[in-house]
Structure 1
Amino acid sequence: MKQIIKYTLALSFAFTITSCAKLVDEVNPTHILDASNAFKTIENYEAGLNGAYAQLRSVNTYGRNQSVIPDMMSDNLSESPENLPQGTRGMVDWVYAADNGAVEGGWLGLYAVINATNVVINGIDALTTPANQKTANRIKGQALALRAWLHFDLLKWFANNYERNSNEAGVPIMTTVSSQNPNLRPSRATVKEVYDRIFADLNEALRLLGDVDRAINTAARRVNIDVTAVNAMLARISLYAGQDADAIRFATNVINALPLATRAQFPGIWRDDNAAEVAWAIRFNPGEGGPALEVYSPAGNDRASFDASPDMVALYDQTNDVRFNSYMASGFSTRAPRPANRFIPIKYLGKGNNRDGVVDFKVLRTGEMFLIRAEARQRSGDQTGALQDLNTLRAARIANFMPGTESGAALTQAIANERRRELFLEGHRWFDLKRTTRTINRQNCRPPATQCSLASNSNKWTWPIPTPELNANPNMTQNAGY
């Protein structure tokens, strides 16, 4: 853990000076660097929270690793001849080892943001008074939810088992500020212990965010964590943990709060023209990259490093499904057209009419909540409810949709197929495969790709603990096969 401590402050500092200062509507968040920098006001802690949010735009977090790498590593995308050797090369071909830069960046990047949340969580109570209690609730509640969410992100990559009460190795739980514990070298908590911490933080966040001084988001942009976002977090995490009753309950809370987008609204979600059904998004600003630039970079070089895979394309009703033209385009280019048989991902083309790849990344949406509830109901034996949820989502996306009648194994597969359609390029496919079927067979697998299939028993489903972390912390253990 000494490696985490060493790098979290460095990453916080680097990101702060390059990105956070550009947020015109945020206080300078350099206070996230060290708890010893005496925070003198509640506003200082809000600046620290803003700094934590800002770090989510890093390529080590939602600028790449948590947003599009899960699709790049799966069967949703086909690597194109336009792709160049880059940091994700080993990820796409599943040849990463403990010294892989993207793996190390993913570990350190997430812990850096967790460290920033701990500065807020552990210090704000000292400045909380009856007069500013609701303000403190708003700030601390968001920090708690973010800390929980990022521990879950780490668990998805570095743990092999997602069962709620698993005693297999999870990840270290960080609840203190790195600079205050320079000699801390904790071992990996069990998966159960990580879940215990996650659910405790999220339940406390729900309590605090239910009593705040002002609205956290606007109808036009939902880039901060509020009660609805926490419910959405709890729905997804409960599904992974196998807590189906909780997944149904929390997903229902979001569905009741945020109706599905209409077909007229849906394309605008991906251009930031509206925030219909968005529970939480990561803000991206000009000059700070974008969530999918390593998939398709429309500005400048117009490089499409990946195409939608043939079986991905075939899943859609290309005439009636609003998602098809919102997510991909045949032969698309900002310069000379590409061959019509190449379907270019355009989901993150840019805000409005821009084509710079800079657009907010939608982390949690109501569409996912219908799929969570459908899957949890199906696993609980409620096939009628599961089919109703599936048909509701399909009818919202597909013009002239005739209600499906699937049951049993066919209904299970239909829900999985709909997750693939709905959540394309939103960071789900790798983990959906990992937690269910655990096999990949890529279509149209061609150079520069070198690996076309991944077996269910491969150790590559779980990332290795980075070498620098192992070297610095004698209590850290490696995952099997590395």
Structure 2
Amino acid sequence: MKRILLSLFVGVGLLTSCDMDKAPYGSLDDSSALQSVNDYAGFRNGIYSNIRSFATGGYIYYSDIQSDQFLGLTIAGNRNGEFNNGLVTASSQAIGDVFESMYTRISNTNYFLNKAEAAIAIPDYFTGDEMVLMQRYIAEAKFARAYYYFWMMERFCQQYTPDKADTPALGLQLVTEFNPNGNSANYPGRSTMAETIKLIKDDLTEARTGLAQYEQIDNKGIKPMAPYINTYVVDALEARIALYLGDYATAISKAESVINSQVYTLANVDNYIDMWTNDESTELIFVPFVDSSESGGIDNTSYGYISYQDEKSADYIPTIDVLASYEDGDVRLGSFFTVWDLNFDGDSQPAYVFFKYPGNSALINGIDYRKNKPKPFRLSEQYLILAEAAAATGATDKANSALNTLRRNRIEGWEDVSYTGSALTQQIRNERAKELIGEGFRLNDLRRWGVAFQRNGEYPANTDIEQFIVSSSLSCKYTADDTRYTWPIPTDEMEINPQLAGQQNPGY
């Protein structure tokens, strides 16, 4: 039987100026593509490949470079400078590429779902065992689509508040059917936030149902570092979404489901470094499979900050405020940062560089130096979600317990401290900044909290470094409600889609 080619997907942008009549790469015609359960299993591999590729590289570091934690150096040659300097525009190529690539992923997922859901509706098309597998594959695809849409909502939509939920055109362009065509009159405009959230939640509900049914038969996939999505991965994403929405009761419930599962345990001061050097830890909830032969399918996240070839160059370094936030005995200080002698046109100056992604030796194939496996969901994030949501609802003891548990596993000799009120809230925010630095959360956190910033350019560890800090990196200021916290809809998208007229984000 003819098979769909599995390893690559074409750049099909349902909502972009790409060829609107293209089908996913390697697809045949409707009568021959995706017929057997093995065909669907193969396409499923491509869905996982898409998930892992967007959990690394610029999808992670663009927004973190834009935030308050990193200073640009003159050695960077302005790489990714638009983010760090606060100059992102609708015509930015990086923004356009991200937008298109995310809808490409959604397009391919829709293709799979449309075919799979039609196939399982045919009586006796699959055997009983095959139907169980098909339901699992569909559930994984529903999770993927929800994951993509939520990631986009955090970046391309304003911060959600209940009063904005039903305001027209503040959500995303929603596409659930694979029906590419070149007629721009049929392209969708932006939905409301409520409609976007409903699609995300509905997909996750269906993902949970399908995965739970499979896990009743085979639950061996529920384990740390799982290469496939399971119900606890769904819980973890739902907890993240609930925190974003200010739905603190759900955030607490979902985070506690993961924490209390007894499946995952926090890394401690003795083995924390293994999570970043070897990509191994009992606190990793989901780690998409990658080996050395496939490492080319993931981007080098470290490259957003430092050179991937030598130890003489860095585009961005952590601010002194970041370095000073870690106290003595904090394992993260040595795990995330190291000192390099940076070369500024022959002038060598030591500085702390961000080294959270040092490279997994098992992935090195002579080309992919400093590549690490994606880690999109970790147990520590669930503790931080629990702490923040509990503090917001006045559950002080629960919030302190979560915060202290995390700190005991990060700071040698930590003795529990209890906080209340605004002090508790600030301590949780501080811990979130320290734990999740460089993982793509910071910009959205600052927006969600309504925090203004201007970077601190002092560098007492080596004051000579200060002359090599990009001036616009220092002068860049964000207000608490800065429009730049939300990325623009790309110019190409605005021009090709007449339904987007008047629907650009404020400030662009």
TM-score (norm 2): 0.83
Say whether 1:452 aligns with 2:476: yes
CA distance in 2, matches of 1:109, 1:192: 24
Aligned match of 2:286? 280
Aligned match of 1:262? 268
CA shift, 1:260, in A, is 1.2
CA shift, 1:34, in A, is 8.3
Aligned match of 1:470? 494
Which of 115, 119, 125 is 2:117 aligned to? 125
CA distance in 2, matches of 1:224, 1:102: 29
SS at match of 2:58: coil
Give the AA of the match of 1:447: V
Q: Work out whether residues 391 and 425 of structure 2, in 8 Å CA contact, stay in contact via their aligned partners in 1.
A: yes
Question: Residues 8 and 254 from structure 1, CA distance in 2 versus in 1: closer, same or farther, beyond 3 angstroms?
Answer: farther
Aligned match of 1:174? 175
Question: Residues 121 and 187 from structure 1, CA distance in 2 versus in 1: closer, same or farther, beyond 3 angstroms?
Answer: same
CA shift, 1:414, in A, is 0.2
CA shift, 1:11, in A, is 10
1:324-380 residue CA offsets vs partner (Å, 9 max, x unmatched):
11111133789x99644x211111111148692210121111101001011101111
Question: Residues 238 and 457 from structure 1, CA distance in 2 versus in 1: closer, same or farther, beyond 3 angstroms?
Answer: closer
1:212-255 residue CA offsets vs partner (Å, 9 max, x unmatched):
26557485743332111111000000000111111001101111
Which of 362, 379, 391 is 1:378 aligned to? 391
Question: Residues 57 and 297 from structure 1, CA distance in 2 versus in 1: closer, same or farther, beyond 3 angstroms?
Answer: farther
Aligned match of 2:415? 402
Aligned match of 2:354? 345
Say whether 1:66 aligns with 2:76: no
Q: Work out whether residues 224 and 285 of structure 2, in 8 Å CA contact, stay in contact via their aligned partners in 1.
A: no
Aligned match of 2:466? none
1:194-223 residue CA offsets vs partner (Å, 9 max, x unmatched):
111111110110110112265574857433
Matches of residues 68-467 of structure 1 in structure 2 within 5 Å? 68-86=61-79, 88-128=80-120, 129=126, 130-163=128-161, 166-168=165-167, 169-179=170-180, 184-212=186-214, 214=218, 217=221, 219=223, 221-257=225-261, 258-283=264-289, 285-288=294-297, 289-300=299-310, 303-317=313-327, 319-331=328-340, 339-340=349-350, 342-352=351-361, 356-444=369-457, 446-447=469-470, 449-450=472-473, 451-467=475-491
Unaligned runs of 5+ in 1: 17-29
CA distance in 1, matches of 2:58, 2:193: 21
Say whether 1:4 aligns with 2:15: yes
Aligned match of 1:20? none
CA distance in 1, matches of 2:20, 2:357: 31
Aligned match of 1:19? none
Give the AA of the match of 2:323: V
Structure 1 residues 115-124 or 344-353, which shifts more? Answer: 344-353
Aligned match of 2:7? none
Give the AA of the match of 1:277: E
SS at match of 2:338: strand
1:282-307 residue CA offsets vs partner (Å, 9 max, x unmatched):
55543343222121233257532111
SS at match of 2:105: helix
SS at match of 1:287: helix
Aligned match of 1:480? 506
Aligned match of 2:123? none
CA distance in 2, matches of 1:343, 1:35: 55
Q: Work out whether residues 115 and 177 of structure 1, in 8 Å CA contact, stay in contact via their aligned partners in 2.
A: yes
CA shift, 1:70, in A, is 1.8
Give the AA of the match of 1:475: Q
CA distance in 2, matches of 1:190, 1:268: 43
CA distance in 2, matches of 1:292, 1:267: 16
Give the AA of the match of 1:474: P
Q: Work out whether residues 2 and 473 of structure 1, in 8 Å CA contact, stay in contact via their aligned partners in 2.
A: no
CA distance in 2, matches of 1:283, 1:375: 31
Question: Residues 216 and 55 from structure 1, CA distance in 2 versus in 1: closer, same or farther, beyond 3 angstroms?
Answer: farther
Q: How many correspondences in the alignment?
A: 460
Q: Work out whether residues 62 and 282 of structure 1, in 8 Å CA contact, stay in contact via their aligned partners in 2.
A: no
CA distance in 2, matches of 1:475, 1:96: 23
Question: Residues 36 and 332 from structure 1, CA distance in 2 versus in 1: closer, same or farther, beyond 3 angstroms?
Answer: farther
CA distance in 1, matches of 2:116, 2:144: 16
Give the AA of the match of 2:507: G
CA shift, 1:105, in A, is 1.2
SS at match of 2:375: strand
CA shift, 1:38, in A, is 2.2
CA distance in 2, matches of 1:102, 1:10: 24
Unaligned runs of 5+ in 2: 1-11, 121-125, 459-468
Give the AA of the match of 1:157: R
Percent identical across equivalent pairs? 27
Q: Work out whether residues 437 and 456 of structure 1, in 8 Å CA contact, stay in contact via their aligned partners in 2.
A: yes
Give the AA of the match of 2:329: N
Q: Work out whether residues 259 and 382 of structure 2, in 8 Å CA contact, stay in contact via their aligned partners in 1.
A: yes
CA shift, 1:146, in A, is 0.8
Question: Residues 80 and 38 from structure 1, CA distance in 2 versus in 1: closer, same or farther, beyond 3 angstroms?
Answer: same
CA distance in 2, matches of 1:84, 1:248: 44
TM-score (norm 1): 0.88
CA shift, 1:457, in A, is 3.5
Aligned match of 1:22? none
Aligned match of 1:49? 44
Give the AA of the match of 1:307: I
CA distance in 2, matches of 1:246, 1:111: 28
CA distance in 1, matches of 2:394, 2:29: 50
CA distance in 1, matches of 2:204, 2:140: 9
CA distance in 1, matches of 2:144, 2:29: 18
